[in-house]
Chains A and B, each alone.
Chain A
Amino acid sequence: MNLTAHAPILAVAVPLLGAFALPLWAKLHTSLRDLWLVLVAGVTGALTVLVAVQVYTVGIQVYTLGAAWPLDTLAPGGFPIRIILTVDALSAFLGLITVLVAVVGFSYAWRYLNEDEGKTLALTLGTLLWAGMLGMAFTGDLFNLFVFFEVTSIAACGLVGYRTWASRGPEAAFKTMVMYTVGGLFVLLAIALLYGEYGALNLAYLARQISGSVVDRIALGLLLGGLLMKAGAVPLHMWAPDAYGEAPAQAVILLVANTQISLYALFRVLFTLYGGVADPAIGWLVVSLGTLTLLVAALMAVVQMDLGRLVAFGAVSQIGYMLLGVGVGLTVIAARPAYGLVAIQGGIFHMLNDAVAIGLLFLAVGAVEKAAGNRNLANLGGLGHDLTWTTGFFLLGSLALAGIPPLNGFASKLMIYQSSFLLSPILSALAILASILLLAVFVKAFQGAFLGPRLRKAEPVPVSMLVAMGVLALGVLALGLFPELVVRHLVAPAADALWKGRDLYLQAVLGR
């Protein structure tokens, strides 16, 4: 068996098998379960890295399920009938983000979750969510995308409602479930329209056939709506603060990665599926939604008194930056490819930076909640005396998120400011305004929670949680200090895959 050829599907199948087997190991003994999780996470991470190395060095990886050999994409007659995984540089980049987030999250969860609160369920759902995210990133089939979309939805709703003993947990889970289900139905209806029109579900085949008819436009609108609902963009963001506020911290960072995977699916639809019939009006729509998201979420963050919800609105506003970057790229790339590409690079680079910085913040909030017993800024104060490391991590994460140099948020936000300035100076002014608002928000949160006299003795934070936060903090520093390395080697190929790589993506599946 040729491991490199099979790596794309194994990276999805191994966590799936791992998630199904996890509760059985837990019935025998919890240490067996932990060992199994380490094994599954290690193998999945290694396989994803292997896929990414192949994609970045060799080219697009294609895998045909159930065929006579992995590259046998076309049935006789030149029609792609089977489920085909197509991994290009952008998919691989998102896959790497999920690996980072999942490994950090699981090591954080080891001491963060209590055994008697259903730790096994949280770990099972987390692994299932990871499998779904990798599937969404790697698939080259529209219906398969919907299936993995639903896998992530179900796992995410379970994680949001994890705290069944708190009344707000199930409420947040219900809200999230309604939004995800409606979004999923939008996507399904769009797929049905496209299938009815072209009789195919393969992304590459559809991309070659698509004509830009009225039905196609309706399908695009439905796909935009469904995927933006899942990504938590304003005005469809109302589930996100509840979900981020109620889910356990290690699950929140998986949920954040999940919103980015939905954005990935959106970009795949906009650039690859509809790239041939691109319309600048769609680009402007994405730009305006992005600007709205970053402004509204930052304004909402100002008034929050709950530390978890405050950071959650910060997370929603970051989705706006990604939409703004890629939307600017979509609007101008046909006319001025050079700066359109910078905009797309900024948006994609911001995905990684957001996963690292907002992940660090959410983990720090989880540590605060565990140490102090609540998250309300009115009752917190003086935690800096006891939680030295957590204080540092929170400060680092909030400065990075507000875009202060030399941290990582600055690097990608600068690319977004510059490119959106060329489209319209108002856009970059609004984006900078949102960053300043976020800085104000985090100054308030930092001062309220960590500075001042010690109110009561806080419990020490377990070392494994500190190590997990430390890894992300190192990421914040490294990505901020050496952004050009990351952009050149990881982000630029991913951005190229969206625009210049469209023909390669189609050829990888359809030949010629």
Chain B
Amino acid sequence: MSVVVRTIARILVPVILAFGGYVILHGHLTPGGGFQGGAVAASAVALLLVAFGAPSLKKLKSPLSVLEDLGGIAFVVLAFLGIGTTFFFNLLAGSGGLFGAASPIGPNAGFLNTGGTVPLMNWAVGFKVLGGLGAVMVLFGLFGGDDDR
């Protein structure tokens, strides 16, 4: 693609990733969550693919698929955290620390530092979706035919 597209892509990719991260981070407060945020972040990979072409992104394939595996493992491990009580038990909610503040009752603007394991699971899902969709797109770009340009 032309130098204009490549330059804009360089500027936009961090913005897209940041917006994806925002959707994931606020998943327990606002519409969105791990899957949606991960899909937004994966669109950065799509932009890179369009701007720079699949061969230059070949080295991204392996890290993306590892990221997908790690996201899946992190999700199940977070669910296992509660096994002392029950599987998926929200161990961290209301315990202080990261995402551990108690949620206030009644109408409020939403407090980020609540939710316990739920935001962490959102991150796990987000990384899994980013890794999975990203790796699939890179593979499609690498092995797809040339007849669609």
B110-136 at interface with A (beta carbon < 8 Å): none
B73 proximity list for chain A (CB < 8 A): 17, 20-21, 24
Q: Is B94 in the interface zone, CB < 8 Å from A?
A: no
Q: Quick check: B69 and A1 within 8 Å, CB to CB? A: no
Q: Is B103 in the interface zone, CB < 8 Å from A?
A: no
Which of B65, B87, B90 is close to A13, meaning CB atoms less than 8 Å apart? B87
Binary interface encoding of chain A residues 1-44 relative to chain B, with 1 for a CB under 8 A from any of its CBs, else 0? 10000100110010011011101100100000000000000000
Which of B76, B77, B84, B90 is close to A66, meaning CB atoms less than 8 Å apart? B90
Q: Quick check: B66 and A13 within 8 Å, CB to CB? A: no
B32 proximity list for chain A (CB < 8 A): none
Q: Quick check: B69 and A21 within 8 Å, CB to CB? A: yes
Q: Quick check: B86 and A65 within 8 Å, CB to CB? A: yes
Q: Quick check: B76 and A24 within 8 Å, CB to CB? A: no
Contacts A13-B76, A13-B79 given; does A68 touch B85 at CB 8 Å: yes
Q: Quick check: B66 and A66 within 8 Å, CB to CB? A: no
Contacts A21-B69, A24-B69 given; does A70 touch B76 at CB 8 Å: no
Q: Quick check: A1 and B65 within 8 Å, CB to CB? A: no
B77 proximity list for chain A (CB < 8 A): 17
B83 proximity list for chain A (CB < 8 A): 1, 6, 10
| B129, chain A: closest CB distance, angstroms | 14
State in angstroms the CA–CA spacing of A23 and B72 once bound together.
Answer: 12
A83 proximity list for chain B (CB < 8 A): 88
**Which residue of chain A has the shortest Cβ distance to B76 in the bound complex?**
A17
Which of B65, B76, B82, B90 is close to A23, meaning CB atoms less than 8 Å apart? B65
State in angstroms the CA–CA spacing of A17 and B80 once bound together.
Answer: 10
| A410, chain B: closest CB distance, angstroms | 42
| A156, chain B: closest CB distance, angstroms | 18
A198 proximity list for chain B (CB < 8 A): none
State in angstroms the CA–CA spacing of A65 and B89 once bound together.
Answer: 7
Q: Show 12 A/B contacts (Cβ-Cβ < 8 Å), sorted by A.
A: A1-B83, A1-B84, A13-B76, A13-B79, A13-B80, A20-B69, A63-B87, A66-B82, A66-B87, A66-B90, A68-B89, A72-B86
A9-B87, A66-B88 are known contacts; what are 4 more A-B pairs with Cβ within 8 Å? A6-B87, A9-B86, A21-B69, A23-B69
